[in-house]
């Protein structure tokens, strides 16, 4: 269903774009296009409703595939028509005939959508007939859902500190009912930790009663209450161990009681006791909201502990931070691996090296280590077999224990809202172990048309919400070494394999290895291609290239290395995403007028005048020119690309726009949010008017030419960029910051080569400040200059000390020092001491090592020789 939903949302974007007033030159029947829009939106509603009500896949699969096919067909018709219109603008031949055929084709695809809609109505009516309300609960249902706690036999490796911390939270002397939440991705060890806490002798002795319930994704309140009552009234009364027979008998006895009566009985059973309730694998707060009133706060140190994969669920339980479980390090991974494979024995010396390789490949995920360890414990312990396992690790982990590992991770995927599934599956397009730049990922999501439009928000804002949701669900991770704004994200190998499988199964995206001959026969229908290689030395197998040239429907081509893709794009004239490192001739590029995202390498011999033809690209959103653009001027037609959201090039020059008397009739880049690495940027009034919604701006300057003053660049006009949030300025001739007028909207400022003269009230929203490679030696600053500052980076400076006044900044969380004097480290320690005196907590100060990417924390007691390594 994810692929169908992506197809529908993408089509909605295309239809809305074709209705945009800026597309007035495209001859279409506006009423017909509006009717198409309404039909597509109704199909989107059906998909969302079917997904939210969890209709059977068998019932709607046929309809889903038909919706996807019809949406793709409509998209192909519209975009092919627009491409033909653009390429044929110089002549008027057959224009009317083309328009007639276009209208007829749209009418046919709308008829198909009407047929689908009729089937949808029939499907819904059939579901309404004979719907009966389910009253009561079956024994089978109970045995399959809210479960008894697992036994505490699970191996606890690397969890000692977690165990101690949770036990301490349970043992606090606060009489009020306390909530403890444990959060982490599927397979990370949340249930194992909770189980060992639950069965710990101290906990057994401390609490009068304990109860455990595992919440399924399709829970019922009755099942939850019955499970809890059974634990409290039967097991806690020392009447023997849990069994399905006892649970069945108890359920039968409770048959005549409704949910309210069961809840009241649970409340009365707990009111006079100190109790511990464990709610395992909670997926939403709804289940909790329906039962929370049955847990009395009897002020006798009772506790409730939950485990969840969702951070946004965990934070709803109490004022404290959720207890998050991270991946195991290499040492703990090896320890857990050995315990699962050898129990009490020692790993044979000849297997140590390959064993550590296998353990490391599990990427610190306990579930993967347990599954692969269990497999190896029951197999021949030979070097040959272990080498085979190492080569095929991910496949074996996913097949181990009846695919238990993969099935567990699938729970997280299946629980995703439908609008997030295409974005998650797209993660399979990135190479294994890849650190993915968040800015790039969001731009690709936008260009692919995955994001459901929200009138009050930009697509970038929607992308931020999607990313946060996936991160909160622990399906995407943020490396712990990155502080402040999220710039990098990663995905665990097993989750990436899940994406790979689902994307392949749904024909959503195809990952092709250049050395593999396993090319699908229906490669013509693949709309997204990501080309990978196993090693840098590998090159195309000739048959692979031949097969890829048949991918005529491909809309997206992504590749992280030079792949000779110029031989492909001549066949892919409907491409909307081209993200490669290859070099192209102008003739290759200007044919691809349907592009939304273009990132490629510019050859020194390539004349940038070809960009003037790109003004015909009716929907180009992202243009990234890598390589040889330094000192070269972009053509003036760049100001006519009104759909641009991102423009990046390496210190090339932006042309001055021609002044226009009537600004309303001029070409305004109102969608432009990122302008990066501009050389010798002139911020004239006309430039400011042309990009009113700019959020990120990076520019740099060579040495000033003879007779040129800083006033020529009009940097005082920066203050009129009222939505600017990130500004990076690099100066090779020294300039005083006083020559620049900064907008109050700035949240991140990066300065290189400037003298610093802070002005009170100038940076009221600034959160991140970076200063490097300047002659700055003395600096005065305090709370009045940076009231919101949370992160400070200082690098390659002659600065003598950090202003002690920064100790008064209440929001300050990080100070990173890179190649600074020892006296700067000393001043950082003084700031730490002063903040302690002021009662501020949480400031982290450290040395950043550029060469290795390491960050070494410092404290008041550290020596000042931290740069020696």
Among 89-93, 227-231, 498-502, 739-743, name the one with the lowest average pLDDT.
89-93
| Residue 788 clears pLDDT 90, i.e. is over it | yes
Cα–Cα distance, 736 to 701 (Å, whole number): 14
Return the minimum-mean-pLDDT range out of 135-144, 428-437, 669-678, 782-791.
Answer: 135-144
In the block, tokens 């044919």 appear at: 591
pLDDT at 540: 56
- Are 607 and 582 within 8 A, CB to CB? no
| C-alpha span between 487 and 712 (Å, rounded) | 34
Distance (Å, whole) CA 409 – CA 474: 11
| Per-residue confidence (pLDDT) for residue 647, from 0 to 100 | 95
Give the pLDDT confidence of 19-40 residue by residue, as tens digits: 887 777 888 899 999 999 999 9
Say how far apart CA 507 and CA 509 lie, in whole Å: 6
Residue 49 pLDDT class (50, 70, 90 cuts): confident
Q: What does the mean pLDDT of the chain come to?
A: 83
Is the confidence at residue 142, as pLDDT, over 60? no
Residues 620-630: tens digit of each pLDDT: 999 998 887 88
pLDDT for 127 equals 54
What is the spatial distance between Cα 603 and Cα 601, in angstroms, rounded to a whole number?
A: 6
Higher-confidence residue: 737 or 741? 741
**Percentages of the chain per state (helix, strand, coil), in multiples of 5:** 45, 15, 40
Would you call 735 helix, strand, or coil by DSSP?
A: strand
Q: What is the mean pLDDT of residues 346-365?
A: 91
Residues 232, 230: Cα–Cα separation, whole Å:
6
pLDDT of res. 352: 95
pLDDT attached to residue 124: 61
Collapse the DSSP code of 545 into the 3-class scheme (helix H, G, I; strand E, B; otherwise coil) and give the result.
Answer: helix
pLDDT of 205 strictly over 50: yes
Q: What mean pLDDT is predicted for residues 241-260?
A: 76
C-alpha–C-alpha distance, residues 481 and 435, integer Å:
12
> In this structure, which long-range contacts are made by residues 779-788, counting pairs with CB atoms below 8 Å and at least 24 apart in sequence?
779/803, 780/805, 781/805, 781/806, 782/806, 782/808, 782/809, 783/808, 783/809, 783/810, 784/760, 785/758, 785/759, 785/760, 786/758, 787/811, 788/763, 788/764
The pLDDT value given to residue 131: 38
Is the per-residue pLDDT at 456 higher than 70? yes
Per-residue 3-state assignment (H helix, E strand, C coil) for 482-518: CCCCCCEEECCHHHHHHHHHHHHHCCCCEEEECCCCC
Backbone angles phi, psi at 709, to 5 degrees: -105, 160
* pLDDT for res 567: 64
Please tell me which residue, 183 or 758, carries the higher pLDDT value: 183
What average pLDDT does range 321-343 have in this prediction?
90
Lowest model confidence (mean pLDDT) among 55-69, 128-142, 176-190, 236-250? 128-142
The region of weakest confidence among 9-18, 580-589, 740-749, 829-838 is 580-589
The stretch 635-663 carries a mean pLDDT of 84
Counting residues of the chain whose pLDDT is more than 70, the rounded percentage is 84
Position 490 pLDDT exceeds 50: yes
Check if the beta carbon of residue 274 is closer than 8 Å to that of residue 207: yes
pLDDT the model gives residue 303: 94
Work out the pLDDT band at 503, boundaries 50, 70, 90. Answer: very high
Q: Enter the pTM of the model.
A: 0.81
Mean pLDDT within 587-611: 84
pLDDT at 682 over 50: yes
Q: What is the pLDDT of residues 521-579, one digit of tens each?
A: 667 788 998 988 765 555 555 666 666 677 778 899 998 777 666 666 777 888 999 99
Give the count of beta carbons closer than 10 Å to the beta carbon of residue 194.
24
pLDDT at residue 779 is higher than 90:
no
The whole-number pLDDT of residue 56 equals: 55
The two structure tokens encoding residue 662: 């009537």
Sorting pLDDT into bands at 50, 70 and 90, what band is 466?
A: very high
- CA 238 to CA 816: how far, in whole Å? 57
Domains of the chain listed by start with CATH number: 2-128 (1.20.5.4130), 139-324 (3.40.50.300), 330-412 (1.10.8), 416-505 (1.10.10.10)
Q: How far apart are CA 693 and CA 714, in angstroms?
A: 19
Most confidently predicted of 339-343, 456-460, 510-514, 688-692 = 688-692
Mean pLDDT for 431-442 is 88
Angle formed at CA 394 by CA 409 and CA 463, multiple of 5 degrees: 50
Mean pLDDT to the nearest integer, 124-136: 45
Find out whether 498 and 406 touch, Cβ atoms under 8 Å: yes
In angstroms, the CA 711 to CA 682 distance is: 10
Residue 132 has pLDDT above 50, yes or no: no
Q: What is the pLDDT of residues 58-106, one digit of tens each?
A: 567 678 889 999 999 999 999 999 988 887 754 556 778 889 999 999 9
Q: What is the rounded distance in angstroms from the CA atom of residue 216 to the CA atom of residue 146?
A: 7
CA distances from 445 to 134, 262, 459, 622 (A): 42, 48, 9, 12
**Is the pLDDT score of 723 beyond 80?**
yes
CA torsion sign for 434, 435, 441, 444 is negative
Nearest Cα residue to 495 out of 437, 558, 428, 416 = 428
Place of tokens 């021949």: 380
CB-side neighbour CA atoms (13 Å) of 51: 20
| Maximum average pLDDT range among 83-97, 419-433, 464-478, 604-618 | 419-433
């Amino acid at each position: 269903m994810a692929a169908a939903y992506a197809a529908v949302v993408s089509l909605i974007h295309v239809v809305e774009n074709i209705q945009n007033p800026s597309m007035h030159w495209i001859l279409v029947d506006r009423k017909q296009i509006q009717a198409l829009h309404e039909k597509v939106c109704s199909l989107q509603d059906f998909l969302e409703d079917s997904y939210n009500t969890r209709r059977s896949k068998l019932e709607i699969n046929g309809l889903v595939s038909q919706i996807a096919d019809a949406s793709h067909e409509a998209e192909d018709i519209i975009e092919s028509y627009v491409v033909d219109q653009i390429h044929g603008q110089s002549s008027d031949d057959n224009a009317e005939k083309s328009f007639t055929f276009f209208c007829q084709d749209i009418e046919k695809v709308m008829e198909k959508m009407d047929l689908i809609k009729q089937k949808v109505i029939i499907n819904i009516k059939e579901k309404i007939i004979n719907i009966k309300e389910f009253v009561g609960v079956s024994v089978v249902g109970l045995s399959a859902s809210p479960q008894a706690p697992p036994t505490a036999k699970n191996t606890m490796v690397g969890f000692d500190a977690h165990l101690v911390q949770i036990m301490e939270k349970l043992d606090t002397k606060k009489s009020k009912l306390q909530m403890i939440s444990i959060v982490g991705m599927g397979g990370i060890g949340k249930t194992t930790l909770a189980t060992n806490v639950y069965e710990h002798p101290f906990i057994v002795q401390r609490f009068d009663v304990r109860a455990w319930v595992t919440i399924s994704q399709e829970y019922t309140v009755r099942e939850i209450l019955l499970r809890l009552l059974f634990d409290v009234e039967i097991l806690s009364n020392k009447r023997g161990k849990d069994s399905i027979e006892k649970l069945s008998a108890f359920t039968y006895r409770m048959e005549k009681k409704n949910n309210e009566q069961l809840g009241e009985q649970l409340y009365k059973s707990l009111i006079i006791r100190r109790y511990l309730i464990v709610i395992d694998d909670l997926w939403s707060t709804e289940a909790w909201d329906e039962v929370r009133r049955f847990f009395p706060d009897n002020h006798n140190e009772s506790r409730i502990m939950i485990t969840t994969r969702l951070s946004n669920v965990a934070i709803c339980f109490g004022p404290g931070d959720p207890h998050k479980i991270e991946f195991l390090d290499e040492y703990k991974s090896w320890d857990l691996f050995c315990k699962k494979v050898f129990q009490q024995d020692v790993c044979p010396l000849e297997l140590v090296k390959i064993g550590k390789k296998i353990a490391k490949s599990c990427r610190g995920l306990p579930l993967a280590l347990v599954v692969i360890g269990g497999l190896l414990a029951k197999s021949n312990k030979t070097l040959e077999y272990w080498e085979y396992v190492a080569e095929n690790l991910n496949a074996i982990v996913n097949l181990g224990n009846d695919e238990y590992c993969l099935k567990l991770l699938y729970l997280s995927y299946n629980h995703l809202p439908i609008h997030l599934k295409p974005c998650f599956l797209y993660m399979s397009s990135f190479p294994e172990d890849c650190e993915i730049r968040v800015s790039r990922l969001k731009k690709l999501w936008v260009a692919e048309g995955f994001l459901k439009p929200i009138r009050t928000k930009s697509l970038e804002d929607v992308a931020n919400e999607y990313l946060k949701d996936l991160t909160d669900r622990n399906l995407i991770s943020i490396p712990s070494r990155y502080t402040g704004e999220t710039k990098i994200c990663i995905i665990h190998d097993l989750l990436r394999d899940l994406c790979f499988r689902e994307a392949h199964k749904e024909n959503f995206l195809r990952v092709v290895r250049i050395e593999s001959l396993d090319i699908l026969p229906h490669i013509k229908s693949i709309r997204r291609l990501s080309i990978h290689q196993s090693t840098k030395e590998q090159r195309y197998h000739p048959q692979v290239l031949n097969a890829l040239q048949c991918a005529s429907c491909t809309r997206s081509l992504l590749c992280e290395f030079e792949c000779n893709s110029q031989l492909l794009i001549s066949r892919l004239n409907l491409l909307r995403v081209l993200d490669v490192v290859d070099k192209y001739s102008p003739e290759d590029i200007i044919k691809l007028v349907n592009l939304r995202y273009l990132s490629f390498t510019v050859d020194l011999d390539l004349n940038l005048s070809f960009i003037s033809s790109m003004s015909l690209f009716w929907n180009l959103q992202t243009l990234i020119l890598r390589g040889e653009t330094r000192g070269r001027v972009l053509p003036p037609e760049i100001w006519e690309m009104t759909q641009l959201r991102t423009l990046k090039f390496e210190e090339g020059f932006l042309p001055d726009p021609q002044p226009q008397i009537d600004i309303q009739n001029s070409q305004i880049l109102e969608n432009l949010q990122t302008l990066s690495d501009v050389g010798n940027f002139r911020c004239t009034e006309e430039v400011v008017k042309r990009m009113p919604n700019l959020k990120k701006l990076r520019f740099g300057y060579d040495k000033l030419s003879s007779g040129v003053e800083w006033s020529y660049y009009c940097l005082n006009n920066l203050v009129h960029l009222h939505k600017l949030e990130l500004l990076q300025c690099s100066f090779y001739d020294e300039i005083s910051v006083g020559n620049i007028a900064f907008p109050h909207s700035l949240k991140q400022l990066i300065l290189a080569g400037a003298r610093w003269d802070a002005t009170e009230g100038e940076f009221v929203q600034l959160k991140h400040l970076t200063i490097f490679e300047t002659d700055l030696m003395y600096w005065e600053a305090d709370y009045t200059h940076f009231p919101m500052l949370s992160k400070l980076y200082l690098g390659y400076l002659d600065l003598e000390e950090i202003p002690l006044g920064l100790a008064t900044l209440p929001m300050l969380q990080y100070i990173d020092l890179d190649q600074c004097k020892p006296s700067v480290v000393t001043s950082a320690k003084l700031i730490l001491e002063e903040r302690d005196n002021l009662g501020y907590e949480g400031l982290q100060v450290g040395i950043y090592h550029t060469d290795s990417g390491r960050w070494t924390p410092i404290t008041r007691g550290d020596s000042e020789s931290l740069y020696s390594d």
